[in-house]
Amino acid sequence: MSQSVPVAKEIIVAPKATSREALGVVAAICVILLVVGLRVAQIAPKHAGGGIQNYQLQDIKLKNQAPVLYRSLLGAADTITQLSEESGSWPDVAALEQESLPPFAAKFLPPGLSGFAWELRKGASWADYYGINKNAAAAEKAGADPLENSFILRIIDLQAGKYPYPLAQQMKGQGRRFAAQIWINQKTADYPDGPPADKGWKWVISSSNPETVQQIN
């Protein structure tokens, strides 16, 4: 009766030198990734998002009916500058209502925005059209969903030489006379005494090109 012969099993063992080489490569890759990460952290902007300051807000982040009011204010800026050049002074809110210019003419706005009241506040070289929804509380009791944000449409005369803070450098020296900024406060807020950025207001900027501002005329 024959005895079974054990089957030999081949085991391949990598040389110690090869193992050490593989570990060295992995370690080198980790070091490179760490250095790259530290370099990116050093050169990255200190504010949120590329080129966005902490007092700025991209238009795509506006909520509820805020985008409607934002676009209405952008569209109104050009008409306001034309009226200003024709009359030699900033048009008041009543004049803009007579022009049937939204959002100052509330009849062209959806119900959630129709309660906004607007005031003209003049600066050294700019005009602020400040608006809040004064009927927000009553609208909420009636079951409506009013927009409770506050807005400022700021139109700046770049030829006047006195610029409000903050003002993007791109606004200067472009051969344009007027530039527009739109500021938003996430709640019903009083008109800011001083720079809006110091009072918690946000300058709404284009998400497609954060480095540009609205320039007109």
* Cβ-proximal residues to 166 (8 Å cutoff; 6+ apart), any chain: 53, 55, 195, 197, 203
pLDDT > 70: percent of the chain: 64
Predicted pLDDT of residue 39: 36
142 and 170 Cβ atoms separated by less than 8 Å: no
d(CA 115, CA 142) in angstroms, rounded, equals 13
Q: What are 1-26's pLDDT values in tens digits? A: 555 555 444 444 455 555 555 545 44
Task: Please state the rounded mean pLDDT for residues 190-195.
Answer: 93
Mean pLDDT of the chain: 77
Quote the DSSP letter at residue 185. Answer: E
pLDDT band at 115, cuts 50/70/90? confident
Q: Check whether 41 has a pLDDT greater than 70.
A: no
Listed residue (57, 72, 153) closest to 112, CA to CA: 72
pLDDT band at 108, cuts 50/70/90? confident
- Residue spans per domain, the chain: 56-216
Phi, psi dihedral angles at 155 (to 5 degrees): -115, 125
Q: Check whether 109 has a pLDDT greater than 90.
A: no
Amino acid at residue number 145: D
162 and 125 Cβ atoms separated by less than 8 Å: yes
